[in-house]
Amino acid sequence: MGRPRIFITQPVAPSAIERLQGVAEVEWNPDPVHIVTKDELLSAVRGHDILFCLLHDKVDGEVIAANPGLRAIASMKITPSDVDVAEATARRIPVTVIPPIVGEATADIHMGLLIAVARRMVEGDRLARAGIFPGSQSSHLEGAGVSGKVIGLVGGGGRIGRAVARRAQGFSMKTIYWTPRRKPEAEEREAGLTYVPFEQLLAESDFVSVHAPLTPETRHLIGARELRLMKPSAFIVNTARGAIIDEIALVQALAERRIAGAGLDVFEDEPRVAPELLAMSNVVLTPHLGSAVRELREQMAHIVVDNILAVIDGKQPPNCWNPEIYSAPG
């Protein structure tokens, strides 16, 4: 039996690829901008034993069934939401993930988006590049303050929400939060959080900060009704998952200036971004950069490699999403 064949859907840290090359034949899509198409993914799975996939890849039942001998689906995600885990489990294929280690990096970009949209930094950058300097005290780019304002964390009791709360303290912000399962008071005090009902959070916040996980219950958690509860001067910032906000309702609220603006790192139909958002000056957009820190991405890739090496060695991988395949009778 020859060396295992591994396909990686986009380039990852060279040091991680080198580890895999020590035990396997490794191929990868070399273009960091190109997301492999469904046909390309089908072809890759047919010719390889292990699939190393990234957050944007959709590994459905058809892809999994393309190779009856597929040995593992190794995802560089915290939860395999775009992998048909039921199909993989039925075929006794391990689906592996990474632990939740992206909190600090995501909190950094969250605060960056918040500041950028409030202070109109992207608009200012475009003007400066175009040779337009309206004057250092011109009213042309007046924005909203950040220090001392109210930030409302939606689903903010988790790692990323708490990391954003710590950063907000540095701006003397009042931090309120809502989640379906309230944290113990001791944890709230330690994190500087004040619990309020959801509608109160929307009404009081200068910045509505989205951190909820995407579940059937949280899909479109923030829609037209919720956006109407926000202040006309308020901003919404989302680095969680795009579909938590009803994007059509958001576009309408922004277009009608019912809210002041938005900072978005995630979108409802990624990689597509609504054309209306692209045209809006009161929106700052980034292409899902939450974990895009070189050292962190290298760490993430090596965790995936650890999972793959365990599969190759015939062991249960350390971050297996469907471990029941190892206890069920063969």
Catalytic residue among 270, 276, 298, 302: 270
- Tell me whether residue 142 is one of the annotated catalytic residues: no
What is the distance between the alpha carbons of residues 150 and 145, in angstroms, rounded to a whole number?
11
- Tell me whether residue 199 is one of the annotated catalytic residues: no
Catalytic residue among 19, 120, 241, 268: 241
SS3 per residue for the chain = CCCCEEEECCCCCHHHHHHHHCCCEEEECCCCCCCCCHHHHHHHHHCCCEEEECCCCCECHHHHHCCCCCCEEEECCCCCCCECHHHHHHCCCCEECCCCCCHHHHHHHHHHHHHHHHCCHHHHHHHHHCCCCCCCCCCCCCCCCCCCCEEEEECCCCHHHHHHHHHHHCCCCEEEEECCCCCCHHHHHHHCCEECCHHHHHHHCCEEEECCCCCCCCCCCECHHHHHHCCCCCEEEECCCHHHECHHHHHHHHHCCCCCEEEECCCCECCECCHHHHCCCCEEECCCCCCCCHHHHHHHHHHHHHHHHHHHCCCCCCCECCCHHHHCCC
- Tell me whether residue 56 is one of the annotated catalytic residues: no
Catalytic residue among 19, 110, 162, 288: 288
Catalytically active residues are 241, 270, 288
